[in-house]
Amino acid sequence: MKKTPLRTIKEPEYSGSFDIRDVQKLLQNSEMVQDLHRHNFFFILVLEVGIGEHSIDFVSYPVGDYSIFCMRPGQVHQLTLKKGSKGYLIRFNTDFYSPKENLGRKMFLKACSHNHCKLSFNSFKRINAIASNIFIEHTDKPENHQKVIEYYLDIFFIEMARQHAYLVANKNNSTNYTQERLHEFMVLLETHILTKKKVTDYAEMLHLTSYQLNTITKNTLGKTCSTIINDQIILEAKRNLLATTNQVNTIAYQLGYEDTSYFIRFFKKHTGYTPETFRQNFK
């Protein structure tokens, strides 16, 4: 099956496998305005002061103070960041940073599974200090600075994973076990959605029964497992419709549907639009 092509845009002064920018300096001459697009690297905004608008995978988030945005490769977003914003913009690809050790990779995936996080002053201060150290290493480039940046990124994502766990636990009183299994399910879903679309597929990979997996998603997200799977299929379809120029039959095939007419009916049932109408209305 063909991979979904990526639409690339010219990011400000971004080249190579890692970059970190001072947001205040980045906006000195003009505000940042990026139309809907997708790219193939991680994109992280650490905002001490945030003014603007940000939509990720068709969900709008408030751009405010003490906010952190994490985007994974393949996601689509639209961003307006206005003068007066202050913080750091971090961009890297997996050639530069991709933890191989199990705990580090687990923390990395946990942190990046949440697109937006609003923190308290004290919590943000800890994470911002890490970003500041990364900026100094990247700017001054002392001996072994790349390795030091990798270590700082380890700490950054561990701290982010801690913050998410704390916020989620306080929000819905779920247990650590439930949150762990939900996270594992969501990672598997994003990885395998093109080829696996049944609840039993994911239950088997998690060594759970379909009933157990449904109980977890209902208790944490208020949705059945099949609803979450359908939501992910629709999200992938929307990403492709708005971030590529592929024909609908090509997109249907990439998503695992050989019958284009069935895919069109499925998409309309869940969105109220045919794929072409959605593309025309939201492009």
Tell me whether residue 252 is in a domain.
yes
> In this structure, are 205 and 158 located in the same domain?
no
| Residues 98 and 111 grouped into a single domain | yes
Number of structural domains (the chain) is 2
CATH of the domain at 198: 1.10.10.60
Query: What pLDDT is recorded for position 264?
Result: 97
26: domain CATH number is 2.60.120.280
Range of 236's domain?
176-282
Whole-prediction pTM: 0.80
Determine, yes or no, domain membership for 13: no
Do both 167 and 205 map to the same domain? no
Residue 172 has pLDDT above 70, yes or no: no
The whole-number pLDDT of residue 147 equals: 94
Averaged pLDDT for residues 191-218 = 95
Same domain, 123 and 256: no
Least confident of 88-92, 97-101, 142-146: 97-101
250 falls within a domain? yes
172, 188, 215 — which closes off a domain? 172
**Domain for residue 106, yes or no?**
yes
Given this model, what pLDDT does residue 47 score?
98
Angle in degrees, 0-180, between the axes of helices 145-172 and 176-192, rounded to the nearest 10? 120
Q: Please report the pLDDT score of residue 282 as a whole number.
A: 79
Whether residue 161 is found in the same domain as residue 38: yes
Per-residue burial over 78-112, b = 16 or more CB atoms within 10 Å of its CB, e = otherwise: bbebeeebbbbbbbbeeebbebeeeebebbbbbbb
